[in-house]
Structure 1
Amino acid sequence: MKVYLGAESIISPSGNAEECFDKIKEGIVGVKNYAGRGFNKESFCLSSFEHHNFSFTQLLKDVILQSVKCFDEKVLTSDKTLLIISSTKGDLSKGYAQALTAPATAIQKDLQLKHFPLIISNACASGVMAINAAAHLLQKKKYEHIIVAGIDLISDFILYGFQSLYALSNEASKPFDKDRKGINLGEGAAAIVVSTQSSAFKNECYRWLGGCTAGDANHISGPSRTGEGLYRSVIATLKESGLTNSDIDFVSAHGTATLFNDEMEAIAMNRLNMQHIPLNSFKGFFGHTLGAAGIIETAMCIQSMKKNVLLRSVGYDDCGTSVPLHIIEKNTPEKINTVLKTASGFGGCNASLIIQKNS
């Protein structure tokens, strides 16, 4: 069964999908320094909403409705439609026990959904895993349409947690660069519709060809030093897609700008013999949006495919990994047919998916 995706929507501090694409092309950085945000009033670079007062649930609702406007809007309340929510922490203002379920309950009621949303919260691989879960459910004929929405907002709990791991940077992050100092946290929301019906999309849609998750159980917060989980995930995704590494035009990497993550990804890409394929990280622009990252970055992959432009990896200047990668250093017009998106997270979870133009 063919699976399609599109109707992508982003709400971020830097704007919607089209606005973010243009800002990256223009060399604008989406993060800024915030004084006094650390546990001991340290300064960190973040991508944060400054002039909005929406709630977690309202932001989630808004991004879903924006996405559905580009699809057949009648499907929202259909018995054949499911909503999947990807978030690492949910709405912590509801308390830890209800942080994920409370927004899902409110969204089901507000949007009159027939089914309670499926919640996927598996660290920073959640977004890519959610898209893959949607596609696999459609292939099992459980539903006809699935809306996948990712969201996370920065809280003291999240910021202090990453600070305790010495993972945050007080400068704009530089994924894969020799001078990288760590993560810039980001916040935002994104949604993508995944469907078995290409005719339901009002604009272009794309094929989802395959996707897989693989765990290496290396460490509670540190990635495998050999890239084992990511390597296995991509091998399985290529197999499911019926493709080889030579079919991939562009890789959207996880690229957090931490010492160990970027090194792990470089090793995995070399083990996959994909080190020559143009690769970027969108986190130098958006920051790390956690449970929203996989969906925001997949939406940006679609923007690149629509416009046939390889977007530069924001923050990158010089190679900072022990093995080489083909990092995109400047915006390059290029026909992009097939894209590999990867994600990794705490606990050794790794996920990948492949999307292709719908010819």
Structure 2
Amino acid sequence: MNRFSFTRANSVPEAVRAGGGADTRFLAGGTNLIDLMKENVERPSALVDINRVGLAGIEERPGGGLRLGALVSNADTAYDRRVAERYPLLACAILAGASPQLRNAATNGGNLNQRTRCYYFYDTATPCNKRNPGTGCGAIGGVNRIHAILGASPSCIATNPSDMCVALAALNATVRVTGPDGEREIAFADYHRLPGDAPQHDNTLRTGELVTAIDLPDEDFSAHHTYLKLRDRLSYAFALVSVAVALRMEGDRIAEARIALGGVAHKPWRVPAAEQALAGQPASAENFDRAAELLLRGAQGQGHNDFKIGLARRAIRRALRQAAAGTPQSQTDKRIA
């Protein structure tokens, strides 16, 4: 671990002033950043502790919906009564991730910004364009079982590891940030980015910007939702494929559909055409197959992860059946319903 300066901020403006350096990192729960520093993947020159800046609350929004403070722990978010009752998809996705100990420490803002778990990204002895731009991508032609099948580029085939973010994408959340140029809002679909030729940039944050909150819109998908996560073991493992589904049903027909995939791309994966194809249609196997085909159009394996395409197709169908029936996947009894 390299030497660094340490500052403890007591307000958001103070944190923003201290966090303006290109090699400065904000520190909250530290569940990802500290690991990366130990491995010399992240080598910040300065850390700014933001745990005292007052972003640890969940509030009702004046126009409806909820505002999740960036420093609320993942556990407190999942178990908040308002989140569990009104946004159960989000609660389920959070409880599908990590372990109880990590969820107690990890924060909402940190979850948004956690970095890929690509083997080559973590191994400083191997080439990685995300860690060291211009060195190549060791996963292309290497061991790539956990890697992307959608949205990848010749520069990077890493995936976003978050469960929480998949649900937030399906819920059309908004990320609130504050930086040297003031406050701004970022639609969740625009927050994370695909790798393109600059995979070192995971998101669209500007230098010195701090996530302050996540806004959830005033929408009710509580009756018909599911978060289905497929992984190598039933706990403490990242998704090979995950599916977040939120439906609004009118009888046996789908009035509105939201679908987001995790474990398959550099960001939570949504395809508006797939959701639009379900609108007004019966909740049938044929329509679920059509949605799956649209979501996976252009999917390409890298050898070891070819199986993900078929796995994702089956997972989408199963998740849509669960949500339409109002029988969401349990995060305690993980046998697939």
TM-score, normalised to structure 2, is: 0.29
TM-score, normalised to structure 1, is: 0.28
Q: Which has the higher helix share?
A: 1
Q: Which has the higher contact order (CA 8 A, sep 6+)?
A: 1
